[in-house]
A and B are shown apart, each in its own frame.
Chain A
Amino acid sequence: MKLNLPLVRLLVVKDWQLFQKQLATYVLAGIVALCFLGLAESWAFYVGSLMLLIVMVAAACFSISTSLVVERKEQTLSFVMSLPVSPLDFTISKLAGNLITFAVPFVILLGGTLATVLLTPLPDGLFVYALLIFAYILFAFAISLSVAMSVESEGWATFAMIGSMVLINPYIMALAQIPDIDQRTRVDAVVWTLPAVGILISLVVLSIAVLGATTWFHARKPAFN
């Protein structure tokens, strides 16, 4: 099946324009969070890192909610079906639109966080830890996006979003139980341990696999349903 690329582009631009205001808010909040981290004070570190987490989780949820759940509720799909667009075009546009709107704050904040760890008196061991946290947010985003694309129910989509994001708490606690990860966060050096690398690779591979499987599944659909 051939992609109608100009139309996919238009659909992505539409999602981008709808999401722009929220994205601008998240980028502003993210820069404020990085400024807090840059103060290199312990209280500012906690305020900044908490803000970063909130911004990332909110950015992931809002992008999915605006482009899929709300759209479905407002019957936008009926309008899209009147366009010369196949299920594959629609899937790719949703995937690309969400990935772009999520990737912009994700990349900026990931880069900022890693720079903070490396360039301030904070222990460099937090570098790997920060990567593990961001990898989990990526994974939770992939799960939420896949569920929202695959189910019709708003309830299940919301459950997947909230559930996967809230699970970051037990995930952080679980990381604290692994001595090879927890002890390294206090060391002023970037140390790659086997558990850390294993978790990181697993989360990234799983995220890609989940998104790939969702795309493959939708690409095979002959019609919207």
Chain B
Amino acid sequence: MSSELSHERVHYLDHLRALAMLAGVLFHAALAYSPLMSGYFPTADRQNSPWVDAVVWGSHLVRMPLFFLIAGFSAAWMLERRGAGGLFRQRMRRIALPLVVAWPLVHWALSASTVWAARSVENPSAVLALVRYLTELPDPPSAPITLAHLWFLYYLLLFTVLHWAFRTLGLARYGERAIRGAAAWVLLGLPLLVAPALATVSAPHPAPESPLPQFWAIAFYGAFFALGAFVHGAPDWLTRARALAPWLIVGCCALYAAFLWRLDAEPPGEAHPSASWTVALLEAFLSVWLTVLCLLAGQRLLQRPSATLQYLARSSYWVYLLHLPILFALQYALMDFELAWPLKFALAGAGTLALCLLSYHLLVARTPLRRFVG
């Protein structure tokens, strides 16, 4: 199976990556209607629903971990096929360059639309009201510099460097040994390894948007990246993990109910600046188990080539890069409309996806840009 994986395209991973990226677009769209985020998210609408919280935080626990797991798998695959030089060149072309080009554009677009909304929207969110207050000061402070949703590119570069360092120092052998043992060891051990990282930040865990590396994000997402790289070396691990899937499903249902209950009791804020150990452990187990379940489901259901999914996979990188400025602009524009929140969510989500896919079709699909972001 290892050689099979080395020489053939692993369609289900492409498809899962595409679905994870697209889930990101819907996740960001849904945050505007999350009661938990109403005080923190710029596009937070007047209307919200606890049903949004009940759904989005589950996807939050699995979306980016799954993405990093696939990235780790791909890095190990590329290292095996093209060597360290090939991997480095690919990362420069596909990650570093798009990050350097897109970052200032995204920062400018988000800042411009937020300042416009702060001045124009009649029903602003708490964040917009604060921005309005700050921009009206005689000496307004400049907007904080963050990576916004492009932080994942930054961490991908960081993990590529760490991957090289760990392999060079021979530290990967401990993980390789663990992955060759019983699947249950990883499924129980990995959550315990990442739980301390999650206990240092608020729950649900924030996006590590700072341009400086964060310990918790390296430990949390890095663990999934490493798991992906190890699974590439021992693909039979998934077969062994499959036997535990029914237990994982039952466990995830119970843990997610407990997580939502604790989240309601310990909402993020001044009273709970970081997650309690209980919540951190729940998040850790859910992240690992849900991610593995998604991988197993993908292997079972998505391995067959599909024209639609392949198109989405090819466009997903561009869509993800572009989506947040468009989404914010649409949601700011919708804030004053008297529409039900599901309709606003559908309009903003569908509008963003449509514009992103259209721009992909016109600007990327048949142009040299596809080598970089296609």
**Taking beta carbons and an 8 Å cutoff, which residues of A are in contact with B?**
20-21, 23-25, 27-28, 31, 34-35, 37-39, 108, 112, 115-116, 118-120
Contact = CB atoms under 8 A, between A and B. Distances in A.
A116 B158 contact: no
Given A31-B158, A108-B161, A119-B210, 9 more contacts: A23-B168, A24-B165, A24-B166, A28-B165, A31-B213, A34-B212, A35-B215, A118-B145, A119-B212
B311 interface: no
B214 A35 contact: yes
Nearest to B210: A38
B189 interface: no
Nearest to B84: A20
**Listed residue (A21, A24, A34, A112) with the most chain B CB atoms within 10 angstroms of its CB:** A24
Main secondary structure of the interface of A (DSSP, over half): helix
Nearest to B146: A119
Contacts of B161: 27, 31, 108
Contacts, number: 46
Contacts of B210: 38, 119-120
B142 to A, nearest CB: 11
Nearest to A20: B168
Nearest to B165: A24
A38 B165 contact: no
A24 B164 contact: yes
A68 to B, nearest CB: 22
A21 B165 CA distance: 8
Nearest to A29: B165
A38 B212 contact: yes
B271 interface: no
A31 B157 CA distance: 12
A119 B213 CA distance: 12
A207 B158 CA distance: 30
A108 B162 CA distance: 13
A119 B145 contact: yes
Contact of A21 (B158, B168, B215): B168
A206 B212 CA distance: 32
Contacts of A116: 212
Nearest to A28: B165
A25 B214 contact: no
Contacts of A31: 158, 161-162, 213, 218
B169 A35 contact: no
3 A-B pairs with the lowest CB-CB distances in the bound complex, closest first: A38-B212, A24-B168, A24-B165
Contacts of B212: 34-35, 37-38, 112, 115-116, 119-120
B86 interface: no
B342 interface: no
